[in-house]
Chains A and B, each alone.
Chain A
Amino acid sequence: MQKLTLPKSGQSMTEGTLLEWHADVGDPVSEGDPVLDFETDKMVSEIVANQDGVLLEREVEAGETIPVGTVLGYVGSEGETPSDGDATEADATDAGADESDGSAADAGTPAEPTPEPTPEMAALSTDEPAAETPEGVVRATPTARREAREAGVEIDAVAAAFDTNQVTPSHVEQHLRRGSANDPTTRPDTDRTDEDILGSPWARVVASENDVTVQRVGEYLGKDRIRERDVRKFLDASVATEEASAEAADPSASTTESPTEAEVEAETAPSVREEIQITGGEKVMLDQMSHVAQNYASTTTAARVDVTDLLDLYGSLKPTWVEEQGDSLSLTAFVARAVAQALPDYARLNAEYLEDENALRTYDDVNLGIAVNSDDGLIVPTIRHADRQSVRELSRSIETVAEKVEERQLSPEDLEGATFSISNAGSLGAYINTPQINPPQTAILGVCKIFDDAGVVDGEVVPRKRMHLCLTYDHRVIEGATAVEFLQTVKSRLESPSSLLS
């Protein structure tokens, strides 16, 4: 039997949304057939059957968002029940007993004990490791199980993430490290793990009786040793907050109790069209932007760039490159080229801030994230080693990733490893646009629309083409002067466009 679980495809993936089942329960499926589609961080993938059979069960319905490793359903031969497969993990001895004294006897066969392998037996026979049944029982060391339990992750999820049936504590730790960066929802309260915040046994009892965790208490109070009194303090504070907010929401509540107020409010409240669940890519955006808003000191500085000469150059190159040689050419490539040339001199803008280590990690490689608008929302694929590419090569790279986005063919790697991002909202008409940093990077450049402007050349007022470049940077680690200087460098390169062709 095949257990369908949500696989981990890509480093940052912690959950996915089931988009569509291709079969109903009982429908036949053949080996290699896609059984379902799921959506993850801006990608759509499918899970295929690895055997001929029928879809036995659906555990998750379309539209549900679930963590990596969640069992989605089962494919097997007709008449098989998924519980047979699961029972080996949960209660092997009972299942074995049922078979030997139940079905065997009914069938009139000699009541020989069925050599049903129990987990214990399998564990003992080291000659035949469980590799035979890759989708079978997940084994984990007691320590691994404890760590997973404490962190609130399923052992199955860890096993799926590493494609292993033998889960060790290091698997769990790695899994937690990967997951902790951008998914607070699947593992509540694990931003700080048990190692960070310790609760006395009694504090844990009191916390659990009041439906809070010592982690929450510790985070709230900023303490890493929690006792009962800390839990009480937290509870008192929460009650106070709730009461305060209740009063704020309904200031008259403490003086008059007027039952009609709720009705009045219901009448005057705006009518609801729909409530949209934020899932999938939108959830990623929400989480990322929340993180940036809460943790970064985002500041934007703008430069007005005279792109008249650049457009002239672009206009002169385009016929040769595109029409005669069949190549591609985009204005974004020129900006990318200018950025890639300038970045090596401004290491802090080509960097990543490591919260845990309180360190800034700068990069030698210039990997540019290029924001591309798509049907699935804004997607930022990575162009690696942009500093080693010419304008022509960058144009090709941009076109390639744009096509991949359009055809939904991006692999997880295409979305990772960027060290600086460029966002072109100019193509949508933005006159001034302050983009938001793509964490964990430290800066992003917003490219705005080109517009006609009056300029002075040799004492004469003449028409010029101009555009704004807006650099948003993390002011915690980058000084304003550095950011402005960088922006000026990019500006002057774009205003002397021949330098970009070197």
Chain B
Amino acid sequence: MTEQTVRESINEALAEELERDERVFLYGEDVGDYGGLYQVTAGLQERFGEDRVFDTPLSETTLGGTAVGAALTGTRPIMEIMFGDFLSVIADHLINYAAKMHFNYTDDTSVPMVVRTTYGGGDQFGLHHSQDPIPWFQNVPGLKMVAPSTPSDYKGLLKSAVRDDDPVIFFENKQRYEVTGDVPDEEYTVPLGEADVKRSGEDMTVVAVGGMVDVALEAAESLADRGYDCEVIDPRTVVPLDKETILDSVKKTHALTVVHESATFGGIGGEIAATAADEALFYLDAPVKRVGAPFTPVPFAENLEQEYLPDEEDVETAVVEALEV
């Protein structure tokens, strides 16, 4: 085990996959010489050359189109969209092409591409650079979405995403590149579609997505001091969602709170809540709570942005309300 930051673990994953499979290549805005806006790809161009790691003009639509095309020809592109907000620009390529190719042909056609992107508020980047676009794509069959929380999960899941034959959007929380954690020294992957129980508990199942896992874990610690024992589940892969782990936990704790950074309305939390209501209703002993952002663009002003983002206190309030009110 080596302690690494999320940034380092992603960098290592990319390097290992570029090393392992020559069909893999990495491109995007500033990923090459500059090493990425967040320095995630630092050193990779130097190591693998400009044919495998290269910069592109500021044109997301070209990025999307070329990635789908390249993947269809048999390569495995990893493409970076600097801010997840601009996934909207390549949405046509993702939704109408990447996601559908496998279903469109009767052979083994697939689009094995990975879109790495950043998401989330907290840096005062304004309403065009701070969004959580996960709910935009959760309704698209054919796309996989991954949003890890720990360095080891980031690494293992990114390696799985690169090896997966379907298009995967890999969400990196821009607030948490500095988060550290133990990463195995040996070669490993984390399978897509498997949730991880990050904290075991008896009173409440808290399902937290991506950057909110840390928030939920901190909330769980203070809740433990107040006598509420929370189980924190990190789905890691948002689509396909590991329902079983969540339902098993709900059947144990009889209560559910879902936490994510995007707006509560229309978010993945509603989907998870509905799944629990559908498949574990008779195990529920409390109202299902959703913690998310308000249904409004991410504010620019620092104080408003902090107010907008779900935090530990929001999670604690929701849990206590569910269990007590």
Question: Complex formed: what's the CA distance from A205 to B285 in Å?
Answer: 10
A331 to B254, CA, bound (A): 71
Q: A204, A205, A227: which contacts B286 (Cβ < 8 A)?
A: A227
Confirm or deny: B282 has a beta carbon within 8 angstroms of a beta carbon on chain A: yes
A220 on interface, CB distance cutoff 8 Å? no
Q: List residues of chain A with CB within 8 A of the CB of B284.
A: 200-202
Q: B281 in the interface, Cβ–Cβ < 8 Å?
A: yes
- A57 at the A/B interface (Cβ < 8 Å)? no
Q: Do A228 and B282 touch across chains, with their CB atoms under 8 A apart?
A: no
0 or 1 for each of B294-320: is its CB under 8 Å from A? (1 = yes): 000000000000000000000000000
Could you say which residues of chain A place their CB within 8 Å of the CB of B283?
201-202, 205
Give the distance in Å from the alpha carbon of A203 to the alpha carbon of B281 in the complex.
11
Please, which residues of chain B bring their CB within 8 A of the CB of A205? 282-283
In the complex, which residue of chain A has the Cβ closest to the Cβ of B284?
A: A201
B284 CB to nearest chain A CB (Å) = 5
By beta carbon, the residue of chain B nearest A228 is B285
Which residues of chain B come closer than 8 Å to A204, judged between CB atoms? 282
Chain A residues near B254: list those with CB within 8 A: 200, 202, 228
Taking the nearest CB of chain A, how far is it from the CB of B279, in angstroms? 12
Which residues of chain B have C-beta atoms less than 8 A from A228's C-beta? 254, 285
Q: What CA separation (Å) do A201 and B254 show in the bound complex?
A: 9
Q: Give the shortest distance, in Å, between A209 (CB) and chain B (any CB).
A: 11
CB distance from A394 to the nearest CB of B (A): 61
Interface flags, A196-216, vs B, CB<8A=1, else 0: 000011111100000000000
Q: Which residue of B lies closest to A229 (CB)?
A: B285
CA distance A228 to B285 in the complex (A): 6
A204 to B285, CA, bound (A): 9
- Scoring A residues 17 to 54 as 1 if CB is less than 8 Å from chain B, else 0, what string do you get? 00000000000000000000000000000000000000
Residues of B within 8 A of A203 (CB): 285
Query: Complex: how many Å from CA A134 to CA B85?
Result: 68
**A355 CB to nearest chain B CB (Å):** 29
A200 and B286 CA atoms in complex are apart in Å by 7
Q: How far is the CA of A228 from the CA of B283 in the complex (A)?
A: 10
- Name the CB-closest residue of A to B251: A202
* Chain B nearest Cβ from A224, distance in angstroms: 13
Complex alpha-carbon distance, A200 and B322, angstroms: 12
Q: A445 to nearest B CB, angstroms?
A: 52
* Shortest distance from the beta carbon of B231 to any chain A beta carbon, whole Å: 16
Proximity bits, B255-299, A CB within 8 Å = 1, else 0: 000000000000000000000000001111110000000000000
Please, which residue of chain B has its CB at the minimum distance from the CB of A225?
B325
Shortest Cβ distance from residue A197 to the other chain B in the assembled complex, whole angstroms? 15
Q: B311 CB to closest chain A CB, in angstroms?
A: 27
Residue of A nearest to B250 (CB): A202
Interfacial chain B residues near A200, Cβ < 8 Å: 254, 284-286
Contact B286 A201 (CB under 8 A): no
Q: With both chains docked as a complex, state the minimum distance between the C-beta of A221 and any C-beta of chain B, in angstroms.
A: 15
CA distance in complex: A228, B284 (Å): 9
Smallest Cβ-Cβ distance to A208: which chain B residue: B282
Docked pose: A316 CA to B254 CA in angstroms: 83
User: Which residue on A lies nearest to B285, using beta carbons?
Assistant: A202
Which residues of A, 160-200, contact B by the 8 Å Cβ criterion? 200
Residues of A219-246 contacting chain B, CB below 8 A? 227-228
Query: In the complex, how many angstroms separate the beta carbon of B93 from the nearest chain A beta carbon?
Result: 44
How would residues 363 to 387 of chain A score, 1 for a CB under 8 Å from any chain B CB and 0 otherwise?
0000000000000000000000000
CB distance from A416 to the nearest CB of B (A): 44
Docked complex Cα distance between A184 and B282 (Å): 29
Chain B residue with the shortest CB-CB distance to A204: B282
Q: How far is the CB of A205 from chain B (nearest CB, A)?
A: 5
How close is A90's CB to chain B, nearest CB, in angstroms? 27
Contacts of B282 in A (CB 8 A): 201-202, 204-205
Q: How far is the CB of A400 from chain B (nearest CB, A)?
A: 60
**Nearest CB of chain B from residue A223's CB, rounded to whole Å:** 13
State the Cβ distance, B285 to closest chain A Cβ, in Å.
4
A204 vs B282: C-alpha distance when bound (angstroms): 8
Residues of A within 8 A of B281 (CB): 201
User: Closest residue of chain B to A230, judged by CB?
Assistant: B285
The smallest beta-carbon distance between B79 and chain A, in angstroms, is 46
Most buried by B among A202, A203, A204, A227: A202
In angstroms, Cα B284 to Cα A205, docked, is 10
Tell me the bound Cα distance from A202 to B252 in angstroms: 11
- Report the bound CA distance from A79 to B285 in whole Å: 54
Segment 228-261 of B: residues with Cβ below 8 Å from A? 254
A204 to B283, CA, bound (A): 9
CB distance from B320 to the nearest CB of A (A): 14
Q: Which residue of B282, B283, B285, B286 has the most chain A CB atoms within 10 A of its CB atom?
A: B285
How many angstroms between the C-alpha atoms of A227 and B254 in the bound complex?
Answer: 10
Q: Within the assembled complex, what's the spacing in Å between the Cα atoms of A228 and B202?
A: 14
Q: Interface code B3-46, partner A: CB below 8 Å = 1, 0 otherwise?
A: 00000000000000000000000000000000000000000000
Q: Closest CB-CB distance, A6 to chain B, in whole Å?
A: 36
**In the bound complex, what is the Cα–Cα distance between A205 and B283 (angstroms)?**
8
Q: Which residues of B contact A202 (CB under 8 A)?
A: 254, 282-285
B108–chain A nearest beta-carbon distance, Å:
44
A201 to B281, CA, bound (A): 6
Question: Closest CB-CB distance, A341 to chain B, in whole Å?
Answer: 58
- CB proximity of B204 to chain A, nearest CB, Å: 13
B140 to chain A, nearest CB (A): 32
Q: How far is the CA of A202 from the CA of B276 in the complex (A)?
A: 13
Chain B residue at minimum C-beta to C-beta distance from A200: B285
> A202–B282 Cα gap in the complex (Å)?
5
A203-B254 Cα distance, complex, nearest whole Å? 10
A228–B281 Cα distance when bound, in Å, is 14
A204 to B284, CA, bound (A): 10
Per the bound structure, the CA–CA distance linking A201 and B279 in Å amounts to 12
* Beta-carbon nearest neighbor of A203 in chain B: B285
Q: Return B100 CB to nearest CB of chain A, in Å.
A: 39
Chain A residues in 8 Å Cβ range of B286: 200, 227
A133 to B284, CA, bound (A): 45
| 19 A-B pairs in the complex with CB atoms less than 8 angstroms apart | A200-B254, A200-B284, A200-B285, A200-B286, A201-B281, A201-B282, A201-B283, A201-B285, A202-B254, A202-B282, A202-B284, A202-B285, A203-B285, A204-B282, A205-B282, A205-B283, A227-B285, A227-B286, A228-B254
A residues in contact (CB < 8 Å) with B: 200-205, 227-228
Given contacts A201-B281, A205-B282, 9 further A-B contacts (CB under 8 A): A200-B254, A201-B282, A201-B283, A201-B284, A202-B282, A202-B284, A204-B282, A227-B285, A228-B285
- A-B pairs, top 3 by smallest CB distance, nearest first, are A202-B285, A200-B285, A201-B282
